[in-house]
């Protein structure tokens, strides 16, 4: 369901929100190779969030590589070795090391991280097209059914009444619970506590520490607003005015940066209004969504179920999962009516 995950002479970058299953996915890839008879010694896994590796520099990655080949010299240039480098963004300038290894050794390389910057303009020059992206989302509804050992029906249009009711109940539960693997099969209070912790860790590790942000208060207000108003309209200008009215100092440029950082770490997604020009698009508000419907009841303050907002979120994430470009459209009266999704591959062909 993730499509091609490995291409010759390219690093595979496995990215996505924290706790969505990236590390598990890397271990699944290792297991597939073990099942095909690849020796365990040729499947090297390193987690760079291990405290023993804290502060590791890119130059020290070369030492790790040399230590490995000193231990297994028979593999060098003769047997393909797979390196699985988890949370690699902890090492500054890691991309130059990966590119050199791809050029000089007989390897395949998988890197993972909680930031879309793994394949952004930050490393485009260094990798020079040598990376391939795989995005890991929380469970889709189909994956949710499989996880809970519920039947996945091949022809949902032809269901008996009892089957339809069972699927509808499961889908309603999914809209409330969401798809993060760890929160399945736990009580509501525990689920909400885990999801709050996910958000806090994403803010600390992927936004505050990574981008050296000092205005923590404004950032937290922004996060609470976005997650507490799922599928709502968002305008930086209006939010800036609201903060100013509360006596909170920040700048519009900073808020634009914070929003980009939150999207970069996959915590929120924003959708632009379909417009005929870039200027029209920029001046209109965006619709903002959490990365998973399970976050909605955690941060919503209305006390309502908000299943409609959860459904919008699920549709958006599924379109992203299918690599669609998504905008929203409005009627002349100003009411949002639908997502407009395009397949970029088909459009370019």
What's the whole-number mean pLDDT along residues 229-237?
A: 93
Task: Return the pLDDT at 348.
Answer: 36
Domain boundaries, the chain: 11-135, 142-348
Distances (CA, A) of 179 to 151, 175, 195, 302, 318: 17, 9, 11, 22, 12
Pick the CATH number of 11-135 from 3.40.109.10, 3.40.50.1820, 3.40.50.300, 3.50.50.60: 3.40.50.300
Residues 246-262 have pLDDT tens digits of: 999 999 999 999 999 99
Task: Return the pLDDT at 121.
Answer: 55
Place of tokens 């070795």: 81
Q: Give the Cα-Cα-Cα angle 124, 128, 132 (nearest 5 degrees).
A: 80
Which residues face 292 on adjacent strands? none
pLDDT band at 6 (very low <50, low <70, confident <90, very high): confident
Task: Return the pLDDT at 123.
Answer: 62
């Amino acid at each position: 369901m993730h499509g091609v995950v490995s291409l010759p002479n390219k690093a595979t970058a496995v990215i996505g929100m924290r706790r969505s299953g990236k590390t598990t996915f890397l271990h699944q890839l290792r297991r597939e190779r073990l099942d095909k008879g690849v020796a365990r010694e040729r499947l090297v896994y390193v987690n760079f969030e291990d405290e023993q590796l804290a502060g590791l520099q890119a130059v020290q990655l070369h030492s790790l590589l040399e230590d490995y080949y000193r231990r297994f010299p028979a593999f060098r240039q003769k047997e393909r070795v797979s390196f699985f480098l988890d949370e690699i963004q902890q090492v500054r300038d890691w991309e130059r090391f990966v590119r050199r290894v791809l050029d000089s050794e007989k390897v395949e390389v998988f890197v993972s991280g909680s930031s879309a910057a793994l394949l952004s303009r930050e490393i485009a020059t260094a990798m020079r097209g040598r990376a391939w992206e795989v995005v890991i989302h929380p469970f889709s509804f189909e994956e949710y059914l499989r996880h809970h050992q519920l039947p996945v029906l091949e022809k949902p249009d032809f269901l008996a009444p009892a089957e339809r009711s069972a699927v509808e109940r499961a889908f309603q539960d999914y809209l409330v619970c969401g798809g993060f693997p760890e929160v399945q099969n736990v009580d509501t209070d525990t689920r909400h506590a885990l999801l709050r912790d996910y958000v806090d860790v994403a803010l600390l590790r992927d936004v505050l520490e990574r981008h050296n942000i000092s205005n923590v208060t404004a950032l937290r207000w922004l996060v609470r607003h976005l997650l507490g108003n799922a599928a709502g309209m968002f305008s930086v200008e209006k939010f800036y005015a609201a903060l100013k009215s509360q006596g909170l100092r920040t700048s519009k440029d900073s808020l634009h940066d914070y929003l980009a950082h939150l999207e970069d770490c996959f915590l929120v997604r924003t959708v632009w209004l379909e417009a005929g020009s870039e200027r029209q698009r920029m001046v209109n508000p965006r619709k903002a969504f959490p990365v998973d419907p399970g976050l909605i009841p955690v941060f919503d303050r209305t006390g309502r179920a908000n299943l409609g907002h959860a459904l919008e979120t699920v549709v958006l994430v599924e379109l992203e999962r299918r690599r669609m470009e998504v905008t929203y459209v409005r009627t002349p009266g100003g009411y949002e009516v639908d997502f407009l999704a395009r397949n970029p591959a088909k459009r370019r062909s």
